[in-house]
Structure 1
Amino acid sequence: MARTEKEVLEQTLKLLNSAISSSHSTRLFPAKWKPIRDKLERLRSNLAPASFDADSRGNPSLAELLEAISATAHCTKLLAQLCGDDSYGGGKLLMKSNLDLIAASLELHIKHLDEKYDLGILISSLSIVLSKPAVGASREDMRIYVRDIFSRLRIGCFEMKARALASLNQVLHEDERYVRAVAAETTDGIGVLVKLLDCREVMVKEEALRAVSVIAGFESYRGMLVMSGVIPPLIRILEQGNGKAKERAAHALKLMTQSCDNAWLVSSQGGVLTLLRICGDDGSSSKLANLACSILRNLCGVGEIRRFMVEQGAVVVFLKLLRSKEEASKLHAMELLLMFASDDEEIKKSLTRDEFIDSLLGIINHESLYSSKAREIALRCIEAFFFTSPASLNQLVKRGFLHQILFFLRNGEVADQELALKSVSRFCSVSDQLMAQTMGDMGFMPELLRLLQARPFDAREAAAEALCSLVLVQKNRRKFIEEDHNVDNVLQLLDPREGKGTKKLLLSALMSLTDSSSGRKKVSASIYLKNLEKLAEAEVAEAKKILKKISNNRFRSIFEALRGM
């Protein structure tokens, strides 16, 4: 008497359960048995909720598939029993070959079973998603819930898949233990989600993308996403998806490209050109453009990819982005331009143009509302591109760079003052004597001296370096010495009790100041001369040299006085 479809299905499930049970007792070839057991479990979870459409009963292809699955399950059980026997003495190469054939057959069965669902020959008896486990539920309850969701994702209709994904996304956002349940405890869980990124049903695709974006936030599972082929569909969504989907895809790619290996994958799939188009497209949302910039910045860590970007016109794209009203866009543009120029002198030369410097100076303008972070990056750009030659330094001065820096030294918040100090120090190190004289006339020296007395070490060091550079110029020395208390203040800062700090730099400045007779007189007459003497007693060579110059000056003064008598 012929068996009914239900009986055939029940028999097939029984054989699958038996094969799975036997596979757990295998001792030989564990690396071969793990994927076989995973495939058996996938077949069982796909068949367990199956029922037959009225029109499909008696379908010969379905009966043949169930018979083939049953035969493979029976064969798998026999092989498992052989591999669980310590006394097995058969050929190992033959056994490995048989296990490979079983794995391939199971994979083929899974594919054919999915086709039966897609054609409607099989339908799922699952109608509603299980109730979500309560807060603090056991890991087993969570695994059961996730397993139920993935059964629906594998065999359900589009509507069922969308509902299941919505439920999955809810728990993924609420409790990261569900992320582990999907990635590490569900057979091919990540693979199922990645395949759904190419689903023709938009709602299913977008819900799958939400789930993938959450999982990408966990570094330990990014490798599994890559192995499941997540990069190509994410790039396709960037090219063809709607606004929100593009943003989610870009967010996932931003996380994935923190690894240089993944950077190559993005580049090989055409991702660089897609991202550049997004950055250059006025129609892109600011969030999407900023995410695209972040991905490109990650890709820039690979020199070959960075050079490819430049060849594809990236410099023009980011000069345009620099003119954006969004601060975040300006930040990305400046950082990427800095990276492009790091190993390419031609790019540096090409960017010393008026519109570029005007954009940068607009960011550091004290009347602008940009953050200290934006000013910091703008100053780094100015230093990288314009602290390179007398001509480019003159460009800066003509456009008011020094006036902006001086304003921040005098009136800026602490963060802006420290940025200005470091910048002026580097400016002094590359400027010529005439430029230093201009800075002296503008009033930089008193401000540097004032900031030497009240800032952290890094800032004091920058102020001392700049002051040393400025007093090397004779006109600046004279001006510095003539102004009340300047020399006293320098000597006061040499207090030995204050630790080393910037003493070496200050002693260097004093050495320059004592090159003139008036400077030596000021040092000699200072109430803080004792600080210099204590340093000399401590065998500080520079302090001893300065005292020797002062002593020689005294002898000359006495000698001249005697000659005049």
Structure 2
Amino acid sequence: MGEEEKPMQKQHQNSTESFTAMKSSIKQAVQVISSLISLSHSIKVFNVKWQLIRKKLEEMSSGLMAVGNCDSSENTAAFSDVVPSILATVNECYDLGRRCVDLSYSGKLLMQSDLDVMVAKFDLHVKNLSGIYTAGVLSHGFAIVVSRPGFGACKDDMRFYVRDLLTRLKIGDIEMKRQSLVNLYQVMAEDERYMKLVALEVSDIVKVLVDFLDSPEMEIQEEASKIVSLISGFDLYKGVLVEAGIIGPLNRVLETGSNLVKEGAVRCLQTLTVNSDNAWSVSADGGVTALLKICSSGDFGGELIGLACGVLRNLVGVEEIKRFMVEEGAIETFIKLTRSKEEIVLINSMELLQNVASGEESVRALLRVSDPKSATSSKTREVALRAIENLCFPSQNCINTLMNYGFTDHLLFFLRNGEVSLQELALKLTFKLCGTSDEARKTMGDAGFMAELVKLLDAKSYEVREMAIEALSSLVSVPKNRNRFVSDDRNIHFLLRLLDQEEGISGNKQLLLSILVSLTSCNSGRRKIASSGYLKYIEKLAEAQVSDAKRLVRKLSTNRFRSFLSRFWHS
């Protein structure tokens, strides 16, 4: 038995020695490659050629390092011829590099030819290494990932690390690829410098990531989708993704990927489709149908549906895509989504409704969300009110629907109780509603809008004061509303006090005078203004040739005042 063990021990010893020798030669080759890379940065001639050579050197270095970090002596023979050949080529190139630095070459054309030969040789070495890897020599079981450079590392170290990850993405087994994707995402998320390296400087890596979106391995898909989504968040790099052909794979992922992959894909599409040119590509590849399917399905969470709505919101600006969405039943889908409890879904679906829909059902859906009794946030109600403004106010039929379903009650509530931004939006819509019809003005007068508008007449914001005065002016143009307004003595007194406080002949002062002129059509209105104690101030304005003040004086004139005021009548 002991005699049989000796050949096996000797064979193992020889294998170990061969593996040690191979690692030593790999280390030597990596050192020489590193030295040549450093030398290449100081070369001032044939820049394009040396950039290409440097790229090939970095790829070889990354590949050799991956082998050198293995802790197995298997398949040593596969590298026994490759490494010495690489080393010989690198030494030959080093000599060319020295001559380029010293400008000691015999002729430019000859040196260009020699450099082209070097590029071809290095390209062959890279292919040979890749072929050996593909045959299974490098697997996750014994490949040690190069350590990540520390914070503040130089660019060369960062580039080497990214190229090492790229090598593993190309030739590693499934687990190695997955771990490399995880590591790549981490460095890119934590240090923006890696983003530029990946997107612009290390060639092929973006294409590899895009190809991984079609991987049959779900974990590879998921990790790749996270990275491309991260890249798409930077305007500078969106074009790189599009040029790599990402939109087709993203659309396919929407159909077949896991929820996590779909979420990454939709996030990426949302940023890419801000550009309308990309919107066409998404539509052409079937993305609109896939997105509508996500929105209409009950199988997905609110986050994914909300993001899908966000992409469709970008696409709907293209008229042809909008028509297609309507034909595919988008309006019904979005109306259903306005019942969602997820804020992102509510907001995006309402904005989509605003862009694609009209009719009673969509109006009622928006009213339901804007209802103060609904369990929605102020932000969501603001979006609903803006959607109502854009969708409904151009159409009298939509306005009638609003009035029939209690929209004025909503506005009045927000004028009284809303947060500042919501109150201002409600005031804006109140002002616009006042200008639609006498019927709307009568309804608003009966509901109690005038009292709330009076309260806003001395608001700090000039815009708020202006809208409140204009809305009130519109409401008191209706006789029934005038009578209601002057029945409260405080209203006229308040208007006159504000008139006295307004500096100069401002727009608001003109509107206040216009309201007072309108109120003089009521006998009680004339009496209250005449006996208010502000008559002398109004006379002073009339003397200053303020037209509405003169009209107001005329309206207030009675036999008792006629002689006193006669000088103003015909001025």
1:50 aligned to 39, 64, 67, which one?
A: 67
| Match status 1:369 vs 2:386 | no
Quick one: which amino acid aligns to residue 427 of structure 2? L
Structure 2 CA distance for partners of 1:294 and 1:109, relative to 1, 3 Å: farther
Contact 1:165 1:208 in 2 (8 A): yes
| Match status 1:462 vs 2:467 | yes
- Taking the TM superposition and a 5 Å limit, the aligned residue runs for 1:156-171 are 156-171=172-187
1:117 aligned residue: 133
| Match status 1:525 vs 2:531 | yes
2:385 aligned to 379, 389, 405, which one?
A: 379
Structure 2 CA distance for partners of 1:428 and 1:321, relative to 1, 3 Å: same
Matches of 1:315 and 1:80 in 2, distance apart? 70
- Taking the TM superposition and a 5 Å limit, the aligned residue runs for 1:425-440 are 425-431=431-437, 433-440=438-445
Deviation at 1:100, TM superposition (A): 8.3
- Taking the TM superposition and a 5 Å limit, the aligned residue runs for 1:238-257 are 238-257=254-273
SS in 2 for 1:50: helix
Quick one: which amino acid aligns to residue 502 of structure 1? N
| Match status 1:471 vs 2:476 | yes
2:338 aligned to 318, 322, 327, which one?
A: 322
1:229 aligned to 236, 245, 248, which one?
A: 245
Deviation at 1:292, TM superposition (A): 0.7
Deviation at 1:28, TM superposition (A): 5.1
Deviation at 1:12, TM superposition (A): 8.0
2:220 aligned to 176, 180, 204, which one?
A: 204
Matches of 1:251 and 1:218 in 2, distance apart? 12
Q: Provide structure 1 residue ranges, at least 5 long, that are not aligned to the other structure.
A: 341-346, 560-565
Matches of 1:334 and 1:463 in 2, distance apart? 28
Contact 1:294 1:332 in 2 (8 A): yes
Contact 1:464 1:506 in 2 (8 A): yes
1:421 aligned residue: 427
Matches of 1:41 and 1:410 in 2, distance apart? 69
Deviation at 1:34, TM superposition (A): 3.0
- CA offsets 1:108-129 (integer angstroms, 9 cap, x no match): 7655643432222566896333
| Match status 1:331 vs 2:336 | no
| Match status 1:299 vs 2:304 | no
Deviation at 1:41, TM superposition (A): 2.1
SS in 2 for 1:368: coil
1:352 aligned to 356, 359, 363, which one?
A: 359
SS in 1 for 2:214: coil
2:55 aligned to 38, 50, 70, which one?
A: 38
Quick one: which amino acid aligns to residue 456 of structure 1? S
Contact 2:338 2:346 in 1 (8 A): yes
Normalising by structure 2, we get a TM-score of 0.79
Contact 1:520 1:553 in 2 (8 A): no
- Taking the TM superposition and a 5 Å limit, the aligned residue runs for 1:25-104 are 27=44, 30-31=47-48, 33-50=50-67, 85=103
Contact 1:22 1:77 in 2 (8 A): no
Structure 2 CA distance for partners of 1:245 and 1:553, relative to 1, 3 Å: farther
- CA offsets 1:231-278 (integer angstroms, 9 cap, x no match): 333332222111122112222222333333433443343322221211
1:495 aligned residue: 500
Matches of 2:94 and 2:330 in 1, distance apart? 56
Cα RMSD (Å): 4.2
Contact 1:323 1:330 in 2 (8 A): yes
Structure 2 CA distance for partners of 1:435 and 1:557, relative to 1, 3 Å: farther
Matches of 2:383 and 2:263 in 1, distance apart? 26
2:169 aligned to 143, 146, 153, which one?
A: 153
Matches of 1:182 and 1:385 in 2, distance apart? 44
Contact 2:486 2:519 in 1 (8 A): yes
Aligned length: 542
Matches of 2:519 and 2:141 in 1, distance apart? 93
Deviation at 1:421, TM superposition (A): 1.4
Matches of 2:120 and 2:537 in 1, distance apart? 86
2:6 aligned residue: none
1:443 aligned residue: 448
Matches of 2:513 and 2:104 in 1, distance apart? 83
Percent of paired sites with the same residue: 45
Q: Which moved more, 1:477-486 or 1:47-56?
A: 47-56
- CA offsets 1:358-377 (integer angstroms, 9 cap, x no match): 32222222222222222222
Contact 1:194 1:212 in 2 (8 A): yes
Contact 2:442 2:480 in 1 (8 A): yes
SS in 1 for 2:373: coil
2:402 aligned residue: 396
Deviation at 1:336, TM superposition (A): 1.1
Deviation at 1:39, TM superposition (A): 3.4
Matches of 1:17 and 1:281 in 2, distance apart? 55
Quick one: which amino acid aligns to residue 198 of structure 1? D
Matches of 1:452 and 1:101 in 2, distance apart? 84
Deviation at 1:288, TM superposition (A): 0.6
Q: Which moved more, 1:123-132 or 1:255-264?
A: 123-132
Quick one: which amino acid aligns to residue 457 of structure 1? Y
Matches of 1:466 and 1:537 in 2, distance apart? 28
Structure 2 CA distance for partners of 1:412 and 1:56, relative to 1, 3 Å: closer
| Match status 1:482 vs 2:487 | yes
1:543 aligned residue: 549
Matches of 2:244 and 2:98 in 1, distance apart? 28
Matches of 1:408 and 1:46 in 2, distance apart? 66
- CA offsets 1:189-244 (integer angstroms, 9 cap, x no match): 43443343333333233223333333333333333333333333333222211112
Q: Which moved more, 1:252-261 or 1:292-301?
A: 252-261
